[in-house]
Amino acid sequence: MQRSGEFELIARCFTPIARDSAASLGLSDDAAIFSQSPGKSSVVTCDALVADVHFRAVDTPETIARKVLRVNLSDIAAMGAQPTGVVLACGYNRDLPEDWIVAFARAFGDDCAHWGVELYGGDTVSTNGPSFFSLTAIGEVVAKHALRRDAAKPGDVVAVTGTLGDAALGLAILQNRLALAQQHLSAFLTDRYLLPQPRLQTGMQASALGRRIAAMDISDGLAGDIRKIAEASNVGVILDQAAIPLSAAARAAVNQDETCWQQIMTGGDDYELLLCGPVDDIARLGNDVTVIGTVTDTPGEILMTSLDGKMAELAKGGFDHFSTS
């Protein structure tokens, strides 16, 4: 297959995206140059996605492009920061047709515009193996108001944005491990898997309060991720299963098959925010935030009161890319 050279691909597909970024220097220099706003610090995060590990190779280029951007913006949101720019390394499988790359780049550029982030730069390479995308996102925050994982304290409430488990159930539907009778509920869940919604607004709102709030995004499942915030803060947590917010579609799934709770608790890809803080501060974040538990003074102990009212240790089970078990 004949595909355009690296430089032509960049000029054709990515330079137009960077046109609105003075920092990018038109993608024609060795590096981009950006300046922080007065009083702000920069946050920087990186997530790499590999075909058939983090997305399905059969997914559309548009879907993959948005996911690559959004999972990183979710980490920016989890710091309470405003995203400013991104640097994208693309490793295209050498058999991917050029049309695929063009569609990917166009969707990526549109989504950058949608979220108000500039394309600072990147790299474009070819691989014999699965395509991969590595994105570094940069944002700004008042450093002392960044939402860190280690800020939770006993007596805080534990809260989450949105609803949990939708993405894991959506993936189960796409993989024919789950079927719902109502098509619109299925579509809602698969959409939640394919198109993460980074909670930038809530993150920035929490940071703007200027209060002690711990946060992270739930990318590997509630059961595993709650443990990370507990360990970083040296506290314990008691969750209330009945309080976990479910969408109508997820509710239909657990009504049909209660083992769906397993996916809701341990499935990844929700990209909702997990927040810990004083109840009054959390309450100021609005109706999209639901209290699901409390922080205790027993380091590392993660308990959950289940639907039948019994309290038990919550197993880890967070998705881990390398584990073979």
Q: Which of 12, 56, 62, 89 binds its own copies (CB under 8 A)?
A: 89
d(CA 200, CA 206): 10
Q: Which is nearer to its own copies, 207 or 263 (CB)?
A: 207
Q: Give the other-Cβ count within 10 Å of 39's Cβ.
A: 8
**Cα distance between residue 245 and residue 216, in whole Å:** 17
Report if residue 129 touches its own copies, rule: CB under 8 A.
yes
Nearest-approach distance from CB 28 to its own copies, in angstroms: 5
Tokens 């898997």: give the residue: 193
Q: Which residue is listed with tokens 């993936």?
A: 171
| 30 marked as part of a ligand binding site | yes
Q: What is the DSSP string of 162-182?
A: S-SSHHHHHHHHHTTS---S-
Does 196 engage in binding with its own copies (CB under 8 A)? Answer: no
Question: Of 172-180, 211-219, 281-289, 298-306, which segment contacts its own copies by CB under 8 A?
Answer: 211-219
Least Cβ distance, residue 57 to its own copies (angstroms):
11
Contact yes or no for 81/36 (Cβ under 8 A): no
Is residue 206 a contact residue for its own copies (CB under 8 A)?
no
Whether residue 75 is annotated as binding a ligand: the answer is: yes
208 binds its own copies (CB under 8 A): no
Among 3, 153, 211, 251, binds its own copies (CB under 8 A): 3
Residue 232 contacts its own copies per CB under 8 A: yes
Interface pick for its own copies out of 14, 82, 119, 121 (rule CB under 8 A): 121
H helices within 137-221, ranges in order?
Answer: 166-174, 183-194, 200-208
**Residue 68: closest CA among 79, 82, 53, 54:** 54
Residues 109, 13: Cα–Cα separation, whole Å: 9
Could you say which of 18, 65, 87, 160 contacts its own copies (CB under 8 A)? 87
* DSSP for residue 196: -
- In the complex, the smallest distance separating the C-beta of residue 306 from its own copies, rounded to whole angstroms, is 26
Among 209, 228, 243, 301, binds its own copies (CB under 8 A): 228
- The footprint of its own copies on residues 25-84 (CB under 8 A) is 25, 28-36, 41-50, 52-54, 75-76, 78-79, 81
